[in-house]
Every structure is written in structure tokens, then in C-alpha cells.
Amino acid sequence: MASSSPSNPFLVAASFSLACFFYFLFISENKSFVNAIRSEEAFEFQHTHHRVTLDSLSPSSSCSSHQGGSRNGSMEMVHKHGPCSKLKQRSSSSSLTSSSFIIPHSEILKQDEARVRAINSMLSRTLNLQEANTSKIQVPARSAISLGRGNYYVTVGLGTPKTDLSLEFDTGSDLTWTQCKPCTGSCYKQKDSIFDPSQSSSYSNIPCTSSLCSRLSSACYAPTKACLYRIKYGDGSSAIGSYAKETLTIPPNDVFQNFLFGCGQDNRGIFRGTAGLIGLSRSAVSIVQQTAQNYGKIFSYCIPSTPSTVGYLSFGGASSKSNIKYISYHSISEAPSLYGVNLIGINLGGVNLPISASTFSSGTIIDSGTVITRLPRAAYGPLREAFGRFMSARYPKGDPDDLLDTCYDMSGFNTVSIPKVSLTFEGGVKVELDVIGTVYILSTRQVCLGFAANQNDDDVAIIGNNQQKTLEVVYDVDGPRIGFRAGGCK
């Protein structure tokens, strides 16, 4: 039997080297493949989720001013509780604090609930028109109805010479009004000097006999034959005063003669700090309609990301940017002041949630004065569940709030990930919300999903101002259309 020949050491070495080459080639290709997958996943994650520092979602202790232009018809918008505010109101309520200001979240959300109830009562025609408290001015119950006040204000001039007044703005209100001396009934404390019509050469009351008075749905005060108005708010507050004409100055120097406004003499309730309100509805008495000759019934605003930054309210042509997404709006017969839109779906993290368009059959409005977006329960449930699956895998649960039930404790994190949320409107138009529009931050231990469920299945859905933050929102009243542009406050 022949013995086997010994192995050639050169052949063995060559085979080993070849095997190593293919092994390392396989490993290298596999690594490239894995890296490619990871890169693709990172790219996909970037487009479906926000990854931000927690500090960027919270207000700072100092004001960061808006750097936009100062064209006519454009005013800075300021959160009345933030460091940019000259009102400097403080509260002992549950709040997010800094070294120089307090955000009274419990008060804000409580007022928000009152506003939402008023909206749904208005739409169901069941608003209880109770009389205001007895005062020196008696006005019948046939009065104007409004929804409440917001947390943002702008400054305009009124009178000749002009008095600068800080007025909250509201797309759901009709009449612009301010407190006036001599405060026959009651005036609340405000930061600005109370407007004194006796010191203005351009002030005049509207008489009872004027057609303007009958159009306001107000009342005649017999002793003076002056046209009076009464506004009752959803939270029970009220404002009563004289319907009047005055010169209005919109910064920096647009002047409007014979501007119709309310000169408040008896203002009761939880007003605080500001001098009154600007009505931005579609009503004939709103500032939008009264300035139409100059601004073409177009206005826009950008609500800032935090109370320590500044946004704007502008009248006239929209931004020159080309990436504005427009949707149609429609009027609502029961509440002609409101702007109705057709919301049909919600996308979270790049996935369309299982929500039928018929879920929103009770209607949807967009509202600058409501803070937290309200959704039908059949829409809120899938959103809450999908948001919770992502967040619960990364962050510990935080204590829920009475209104906000899905919260997480992020106090131990510097950088956080939040799934992106988009709202889909009729026609397939998708509007992506900013990260600060997806969550509502009560504190670093309570970072909550910034949406809430409606109480009743037939309640209207409401797109609130928290979801509108950092978007330029354009109202083309005669369009009729509303536009959205990302990064609108820049």
C-alpha cells in the first residue's frame, strides 16, 4: 500500500491565504451591508421622528426677539406669561418656572376647557345666555357672544394722539375692544394705561339710531341714547361698554379712521394684564373686514415655539415664500365667526393611523384661542396608542394631567426623540407639526402628548394653537383658503 505524499507547505499557505481573503471579503461586505441598513434606518428615522435636545423645547429665562422685517401691518406677538412680556403676571399655580417668569399651566388649561365647552355649546345652539352681574350699566340679554381669550398679545395704537394698547388676538371673536375710562362699572388691572376717550380728538360714540348699532346685535342705553354691547365669554367673564368709532394705528404706521370698536366700561371675570382683545373673525365688525381696503382680507400669524421667543401677527399679503400649503376653509352656519376645515386623517412616525375620514363627520375648526387640539375619541385613541408604543419603549411614564393623559418623565435625558405628526386635510394636503406642536411640556417630568379627546362623539374637532406653533398660518378670507408654512417664525 503506497504511503500518502506529504503536503506541499506552499500550497497549504496559499489555500489558507485564499480562505482568509474570502472570509475578510465576506465580513467586509457584510459590514457594508449592515452599515447600509443602519444608514437607511437612520435616514428613515430622521424623516419620521424629531431628535432634539430637551432644553430646546423649554423656554429660557431671557427673551429672544423675532428678527423679521418691520413692514406695515406687522406686529410682534408675545406670550403674556413669558420673559418677552411686559405684563409680568405671576401665579402660584402648577407651572413650568424659570428664574424670572412662571407659566401657569393649570390656569391656561382650565380656561382652555371653558373655551372648548363654549365652542361646542355655540355649535349646538345651547349656549346659556345668563345675565351679567348687576352693575350701573344694564344691557338686555340680546348680546354678542365670544369664546374667550388667548395667551398671546400684540400692540396697536388707538386714538389721537394714540395710546399703545396690548390686545390679545382671537380668530373666534368679532369685536375689537379695550377698557375705557371712567370705568362706570368695573375695570380689571391692566399693564397699559386705560384708554381715555375724553383725551382723544377722534373719538365718537355710535348712536342708538345708527344702522351700525342694529348690525352689532347690541342694545340701546336709554339715558344717553348710546349704542351698547355686551360680550359674554365661555368662562363666564363678560365685557360691557359703548360701541364707538376711533382712529386705529397698526404698526408701524398704518392709520385707519372711523374704526369701530368696543369702549369697555364694565369688564368682569378672569381678565388679566392685557387691555382687551382683537377680533379676527369673518364678521363685518372684525378688524379683518374693517381694514380690507388696505390688506385685502388677508392676515397671517406665527405662534412662537416657547414663551421666551417672539412670533408675529401680520395683515396683508402672505409671506413671499413659495412652500405654503393651502387648504379650503368653509363657514359654519351656527357659528359664522369660526373657520371650518376638513381634517380627514393623522400620520404618526410615517404611518397613517387607522382612522376613517368619517370619524371627523362632526366637523373641524382651526382656532387661535384654543390651546390643546381636541379630537374625536375614535381619532385620539389610535394616536395615543401609537405615540405611547414609541415613547414607552424609551422613557418612563410621567404623571398624567387632568386634560393630558399621556405623559413621560424626561428629566434624566439631554436629547429626546419624538415621532413626527402630520395632519391630513381634504385633497390629500399634509401639514407636518413642529415637535413643540406634538407635545405639551408641563415640566421635564411631564412631557405630554399635546392632544386631548372630545367629551362627546358629536363634538367638533379643534386644531388649537399648540399644534400651530412655528407654522406661518395664512388666512385668505376671500380665498376662501388657509395656508401653512413650516418655519414661519424665522
**Domain residue limits, the chain:** 69-314, 321-485
CA 358 to chain CA centroid, nearest Å: 25
Confidence of residue 35 (pLDDT cuts 50, 70, 90): very low
**Residue 376 pLDDT > 60:** yes
Residues sharing a CB contact under 8 Å with residue 250, sequence separation 6 or more, in sequence order? 72, 73, 75, 156, 157, 256, 291, 315
- How many CB atoms are closer than 10 A to CB 393? 7
Which residue pairs from 251-255 have beta carbons closer than 8 angstroms and sit at least 24 positions apart in sequence?
Answer: 251/70, 251/72, 251/73, 251/74, 251/75, 251/155, 251/156, 251/157, 252/70, 252/72, 253/72, 254/72, 254/73, 254/291, 254/294, 254/315
Separation CA 163–CA 197 (nearest Å) = 10
Helix (H) or strand (E) segment spanning residue 31: helix 9-48
Separation CA 397–CA 386 (nearest Å) = 15
Confidence of residue 490 (pLDDT cuts 50, 70, 90): confident
pLDDT tens, residue by residue, 205-214: 999 888 888 7
Residue 372: left if φ>0, alpha if ψ -120 to 50, beta else—which one?
beta
Catalytic site includes residue 164: no
Q: Does domain 321-485 have CATH number 3.40.640.10?
A: no
Catalytic residue among 367, 401, 459, 476: 367
Give the whole-number percent of the chain exceeding pLDDT 70.
78
Residues sharing a CB contact under 8 Å with residue 294, sequence separation 6 or more, in sequence order? 73, 254, 256, 315, 316
pLDDT tens, residue by residue, 417-463: 999 999 999 999 999 999 999 999 999 999 999 999 999 999 999 99
pLDDT tens, residue by residue, 85-117: 888 644 444 444 444 567 888 888 988 898 898
Beta bridge partners of 447: 408, 441
Confidence of residue 71 (pLDDT cuts 50, 70, 90): low
Confidence of residue 38 (pLDDT cuts 50, 70, 90): very low
pLDDT, residue 81, reads: 85
pLDDT tens, residue by residue, 282-325: 988 999 999 999 999 999 999 999 888 999 999 997 555 678 99
Give the whole-number percent of the chain exceeding pLDDT 90.
55
Rounded to an integer, the average pLDDT of 348-363 is 96
Report yes or no: 254 and 71 within 8 Å, Cβ to Cβ.
Answer: no
pLDDT, residue 270, reads: 72
Catalytic site includes residue 170: yes
Beta bridge partners of 238: 232, 268
Q: Do domains 69-314 and 321-485 have the same CATH topology?
A: yes
Considering the domain 69-314 in this protein, what is its CATH number? 2.40.70.10
pLDDT, residue 393, reads: 95
Decide: helix, strand or coil at residue 398.
Answer: coil
pLDDT tens, residue by residue, 391-402: 999 999 999 999
Catalytic residue among 170, 174, 235, 266: 170
Separation CA 93–CA 401 (nearest Å) = 13
| Dihedral Cα 130, 133, 137, 141, nearest 10 deg | 0
Regarding predicted confidence, which is higher, 202 or 88? 202
pLDDT, residue 97, reads: 47
Look up residue 150 and give its amino acid: G
pLDDT tens, residue by residue, 11-27: 444 554 555 444 444 44
- How many CB atoms are closer than 10 A to CB 459? 21
**Residue 377 pLDDT > 80:** yes
**Residue 217 pLDDT > 80:** no
pLDDT, residue 436, reads: 95
Report yes or no: 376 and 362 within 8 Å, Cβ to Cβ.
Answer: yes
pLDDT, residue 61, reads: 83
Lowest mean pLDDT among 31-40, 156-165, 373-382: 31-40
Cell of 142: 340680546
Look up residue 311 and give its amino acid: G
Q: In whole numbers, what is the pLDDT of the chain averaged over residues?
A: 83
Confidence of residue 118 (pLDDT cuts 50, 70, 90): confident
- Let me know the angle formed at the C-alpha of 289 by 284 and 295, rounded to the nearest 5 degrees: 175
Helix (H) or strand (E) segment spanning residue 48: helix 9-48
Separation CA 303–CA 317 (nearest Å) = 18
